[in-house]
Structure 1
Amino acid sequence: MAIELVDGHAGRAHISSEDLAALNVGVVGLEGCIFDWGQNFQCTMSTSNRATIATGAGMVKGLRFWAKGTESLTVQSGSQGLKRHDLVVARYKKDPSGVESVALEVIKGAPHASAPSDPAVGADGMALWRIPLDGLSVGNPVRMAPIVPSLQSLGCKKLYENDYWRVIRHGGACTVYVRNIITDSGPWDTLDCKYNVPAELRPATECLAACCTQDGDGGAGFVRVKTDGTISVGQLGGGGTNKVRFGQLTWVPGM
C-alpha cells in the first residue's frame, strides 16, 4: 500500500528508520539540527588538542540522536604560520547488515596561510562546530548547526526590558527594540545594552539594522547584535548626532 499508519499496531514489525526520518523532517523542517535540550552539545577546548562535547540532542539525516554524557575528541596540532578550520561532525553510519549508528568525529581542514576553508562534511554528516586554528593556537569554537526551538518556546517571551531597551523571543527568532537612545555625537560612538544575549540565542554572524533619528537628523544610526551577545546602538560614521534614536532588529539564533 502507498499509505501506512506509522503510529499504530500492524501485527508485525513495520516501522523503519526511513519512516521516522520522513516524519521527523516533516515536523521539524530540517534534516539536520540541534534540539534545545541539555547543554546543546556545547564545545569547550580543555587543551589545544582536546575538544569536549557536552550533553545534547539533535537530528542527522532526519534521525534523532542524543548524548547523555560528555565526549572528548582529539584535535591535531596546528602548523606554525598557517591557519586551519577543523569541524566537529555528527556522522550517521549504516553497516552492511543494516545496523545504524551515529558518532562524533573531527574532520581536519587544509592548512592555509591566510584564508582557510571548512572541509567537506558529506551527505551523511552534520557539522556541529568549527574549531579555528592559527598556528599552534586554538580559537573559540563556532557553532555551525542551528538550534531548533522547542514547541513550548514558540510563544512570545520577554527576555529584558527597561525604559530604553526591550528584547523578546518569539517563535524561532529574537527582536530587540530601542527607543530614546542617545549616544555621544562622535562619528563612531556606541552605547551597549546591559543585557547580554545568552549563548543559545546569539546569531552566528553579526546582525545590523538602521535606526531612525529624531527630527530627521542626518546621523546614520544603527542597532547591532554581535556574536558575543552584545547589543548596541551607535553612529555609523559621518558627522554624528546627539538626537534620540529609535529602531528594532530581528535575528534568528544560530543563523
Structure 2
Amino acid sequence: MATNLLVTGSHGGDDPHVESKHDALMHAAMLGRGGYILKTRNWTMKPTAKDANNITIPAWDLVVEGRQIYIAAPTDVNIQSGSQGQKRRDLIVARYALNSGTGVETVTLEAIKGKPSAATPADPGIETGSIIGGAIVSDLPLCRVNLDGITITSIDTLVNVMQPLEDVWDSLTPVTGQVRMPYSDRYITLVRVGRIVTACAYITLTSNFNQVGNVSVSETIPEGFRPSGDSRAVMRGTDNSGATSFYLYGTPEGKMVLNGTGYTGRFVGISGCWITA
C-alpha cells in the first residue's frame, strides 16, 4: 500500500499525522523564512531598559522560519553589569531549541553577552543555523543593548514588523487625483500606487506664458500626492513642435513653480513621476 502523503486531510481513525513542522513550512512559504514581529499586539512598542541589568521585551507576537512565538506579557531579560571604561554590545535573542531526545521544541528569551572593548565593541556571536534546515538551536536577534561603562546608552530593535496582507493590498490599490494645469482650464491626472505617483495629461493651453525662471503659481498638488521631504514632484510638458516646453516643480507642501514657455491653443503632453511622503 502506498504511503499517504496528505497533510491537510484526514488519514482516518486516530492517526496523529499533522506535526508542527508541517504548519511551519506552510507559514514560511507564505511569510518568508526570516524572523518578524507580527502586526497584532504591541507591535509599535520597543524594548526598554528597566534598570542597569534588566531589559524589558514587549508582549510581541513573532514568527521565525514559520514558527509562531507568543510573548504573553512584557518580559524582563537580565544582562550583566557593564565595566568602567569599557563599551559593550549585548544581544537579546529568542532562542529556538529542539530536544532531539524527546522531540520537545521551546523558545526562550536569552541575553548574549558581548566582549568589552575600550573603543570598538562588536556584536557577540549567535546561533544562526536554519530550523528548516535541521538546526536544533537557532537565535532570532530581537535587540542590541549598547553599554558605555555601567550605563545603557541605547537599545536598537533588530527585528522588523511583518506587514499584513491588508496593508499590502492597500499599497497596491491605485488612488486617483488631479491638479489644475496653470494657464489652462484642464487638469493633470495623478495616480498613486503605494508611494509612487505618476502624472499624465494631454491638454490645451488657454494663455501664453514665458517664464525664464522658477515662478510660483496658485495651483497646488492635493494632499496624498505631494512629494516626500527629500524630493520634488517634477512634471514635463511639451508640444510636438518644441515651441511649448516647460517644467512644473512641486514641493512637499504642495506648492508649485513653473519654468518655461507656452502658447495659447497649443496641445501639450505632460508627464511626471515622484515619490510621496
The TM-score bracket by the shorter chain reads 0.5 to 0.7
Give me the whole-angstrom Cα distance separating, in 2, the residues matched to 1:148 and 1:114. 35
Give me the whole-angstrom Cα distance separating, in 1, the residues matched to 2:93 and 2:26. 23
Give me the whole-angstrom Cα distance separating, in 2, the residues matched to 1:82 and 1:143. 22
Instruction: Pick from 51, 57, 60 the counterpart of residue 55 of structure 2.
Output: 51
Q: Could you tell me how far 1:79 is from its partner in structure 2?
A: 1.2
Give secondary structure in 1 for the equivalent of 2:154: coil
Give me the whole-angstrom Cα distance separating, in 1, the residues matched to 2:139 and 2:4. 30
TM-score norm. by structure 1 comes to 0.61
* Residue type at the aligned position of 1:9: S
Matched, 1:248 2:249: no
> Contact 1:85–1:119 (CA<8 Å) still a contact in 2?
yes
Give me the whole-angstrom Cα distance separating, in 1, the residues matched to 2:118 and 2:164. 42
Tell me which residue corresponds to 1:211. 231
Tell me which residue corresponds to 1:34. 37
Tell me which residue corresponds to 1:9. 10
Instruction: Pick from 116, 132, 138 the counterpart of residue 146 of structure 2.
Output: 132
The percent identity for this pair of structures is: 28
Give me the whole-angstrom Cα distance separating, in 2, the residues matched to 1:130 and 1:63. 22
Structure 2 residues without counterparts, runs of 5 or longer? 130-137, 172-191, 198-227, 235-250, 259-272
Tell me which residue corresponds to 1:142. 156
TM-score norm. by structure 2 comes to 0.57
Tell me which residue corresponds to 1:63. 67
Alignment of 1:61-100 (within 5 A): 61-95=65-99, 96-100=101-105
> Contact 1:60–1:90 (CA<8 Å) still a contact in 2?
no
Give secondary structure in 2 for the equivalent of 1:111: coil
Give me the whole-angstrom Cα distance separating, in 1, the residues matched to 2:103 and 2:116. 36
Structure 1 residues without counterparts, runs of 5 or longer? 158-167, 178-207, 215-222, 224-231, 234-242, 251-255
Give me the whole-angstrom Cα distance separating, in 2, the residues matched to 1:147 and 1:104. 18
Give me the whole-angstrom Cα distance separating, in 2, the residues matched to 1:3 and 1:117. 50
> Contact 1:61–1:92 (CA<8 Å) still a contact in 2?
no
Alignment of 1:151-166 (within 5 A): 151-156=165-170
For residues 45 and 81 of structure 1, do their structure 2 counterparts lie closer, same or farther at Cα, with a shift above 3 Å needed?
same
Q: Could you tell me how far 1:13 is from its partner in structure 2?
A: 0.7
* Residue type at the aligned position of 2:22: D
Tell me which residue corresponds to 2:113. 108
* Residue type at the aligned position of 1:76: Q
> Contact 2:32–2:66 (CA<8 Å) still a contact in 1?
no
The worse-fitting range, judged by mean Cα deviation, of 91-100 and 56-65 is 56-65
* Residue type at the aligned position of 2:231: C
Q: Could you tell me how far 1:18 is from its partner in structure 2?
A: 2.1
Number of equivalences:
184
* Residue type at the aligned position of 1:15: V
* Residue type at the aligned position of 1:43: P
> Contact 1:52–1:72 (CA<8 Å) still a contact in 2?
yes
Give me the whole-angstrom Cα distance separating, in 2, the residues matched to 1:93 and 1:100. 6
C-alpha root-mean-square deviation of aligned residues, in Å? 3.6
Give me the whole-angstrom Cα distance separating, in 2, the residues matched to 1:176 and 1:74. 45
Give me the whole-angstrom Cα distance separating, in 1, the residues matched to 2:5 and 2:153. 49
Give secondary structure in 1 for the equivalent of 2:146: strand
* Bigger radius of gyration among the two: 2
Give me the whole-angstrom Cα distance separating, in 1, the residues matched to 2:140 and 2:52. 23
